[in-house]
Amino acid sequence: MKRRTVLVAMAAAPLGAMLPLPAFAQKPIVLGFAQVGAESEWRTANTQSIKSSAQEAGIDLKFSDAQQKQENQIKAIRSYIAQKVDVIAFSPVVETGWDTVLVEAKNAKIPVVLTDRAISSKDDTLYVTFIGSDFTEEGRKAGRWLVEKEKGNAGPINIVELQGTVGSAPAIDRKKGFEEIIKSDPKFKIIRSQTGDFTRAKGKEVMEAFLKAEGKKINVLYAHNDDMAIGAIQAIEEAGMKPGKDIIIISVDGVKGAFEAMMAGKLNVSVECSPLLGPQLMSVVKDIKAGKSVPKRIVTQEGIFPMEVAAKEFPNRKY
Ligand code: GZL
């Protein structure tokens, strides 16, 4: 009934006063998304969230995987500009080097949304909003957990650090937040710090090198994501040491693999970093197309999961 009424109204209205098309007759919004890659459990869950949310929202998604290479993300953004998509969204693999291509998007009048990771640019008109976690706070949460855990220990407490992708916002900010907290007590010393590029394989490889160089001097591992921690756990076991006991392990993301490691007593705590950004992204894309204003920064809310709660929390995990 309603549908016919709308159509009748349109036929009667003079051409100059055409009513807006009803939702079922409007062409779908086209969103171009340039993803970092498929480097971790977190990224896989993030991709799944974006694809399933686009489908549920009736948004036509064009998706690309850059295999963690900035030049591939830039190529994808340029192809979306050429295709004249309605909105472009991406998770910048590193913070810098985006201004040129984002000026091209701006000149093409295509709004850009940052998800997951931020960019470092003087011109914040190059994107409409940034939806993602507060990585510095994630680093602080990791540091606060360690300070509390070791409050009765006079030290020294030697820490090795597996950093995320060099130049990426999560790697820069998780390091900054962690160091901000542990610098309060000189017993904490970061004796080795190197990138494992957020992957299990590289995390294992770098941890093997740390163990070769420092061996039993290592008290704590701080890994910027669960995948590198899981790789490091393999290296620690192969070196004949007990992960979670001989070496306390702190990581970030809260993926299922981390919960399984915590339930096995091999990982001590994982700071949550939610990849489930799809629903928020689609809602923002629709608001932008509807001409609504959106906040410049949308922060995802997250917790922290020590091994003691892992078994109880595991059934609730969505990624
Ligand atoms: C964080 C995200 C990071 C994850 C890693 O929002 O960018 O990239 O912590 C992923 O697991 O590779």
Cα 285 off chain centre by = 19
179 CA to centre of ligand 1 in angstroms: 19
CA-42 nearest atom, ligand 1: 11
CA-116 nearest atom, ligand 1: 6
Give the separation between CA 130 and CA 172, rounded to whole angstroms. Answer: 17
Pocket flag, ligand 1, residue 253 (CB < 6 Å): yes
At residue 208's C-alpha, the angle toward residues 204 and 214, to 5°, is 140
Give the separation between CA 25 and CA 118, rounded to whole angstroms. Answer: 36
Pocket flag, ligand 1, residue 269 (CB < 6 Å): no
135-273 maps to CATH 3.40.50.2300: yes
205 CA to centre of ligand 1 in angstroms: 19
Pocket flag, ligand 1, residue 161 (CB < 6 Å): no
Pocket flag, ligand 1, residue 254 (CB < 6 Å): no
Pocket flag, ligand 1, residue 41 (CB < 6 Å): no
8-state DSSP, 247? B
Under 8 Å between Cβ of 31 and 60: yes
Tell me where in the chain the CATH 3.40.50.2300 domain(s) lie: 30-132+275-301, 135-273
295 CA to centre of ligand 1 in angstroms: 23
Residue 21 is predicted with a pLDDT of 72
Under 8 Å between Cβ of 258 and 270: yes
Written as tens digits, the pLDDT of the chain (319 aa) is: 444 444 444 444 454 456 767 766 678 999 999 999 999 999 999 999 999 999 999 999 999 999 999 999 999 999 999 999 999 999 999 999 999 999 999 999 999 999 999 999 999 999 999 999 999 999 999 999 999 999 999 999 999 999 999 999 999 999 999 999 999 999 999 999 999 999 999 999 999 999 999 999 999 999 999 999 999 999 999 999 999 999 999 999 999 999 999 999 999 999 999 999 999 999 999 999 999 999 999 998 899 999 999 999 999 999 9
112 CA to centre of ligand 1 in angstroms: 20
Contacts of 215 (CB under 8 A, 6+ apart): 239
Helix spans in the chain (H): 2-12, 41-57, 70-82, 99-107, 135-149, 169-182, 200-214, 226-238, 256-263, 278-289, 307-313
Nearest CA to ligand 1 atom 6: 116
Q: Which CATH superfamily is domain 30-132+275-301 in?
A: Response regulator (3.40.50.2300)
SS (H, E, C) 16-63: HHCCCCCHHHCCCCEEEEEECCCCCHHHHHHHHHHHHHHHHHCCEEEE
317: three-class secondary structure by DSSP: coil
Nearest alpha carbon to residue 40 among 231, 282, 172: 231
42 CA to centre of ligand 1 in angstroms: 6
Residue 301 is predicted with a pLDDT of 83
Residue to mutate, 42, 73, 130, 274, ligand 1, most ligand atoms under 8 Å from C-beta? 42
Omega cis (within 30) before 315: no
Nearest alpha carbon to residue 243 among 213, 264, 223: 264
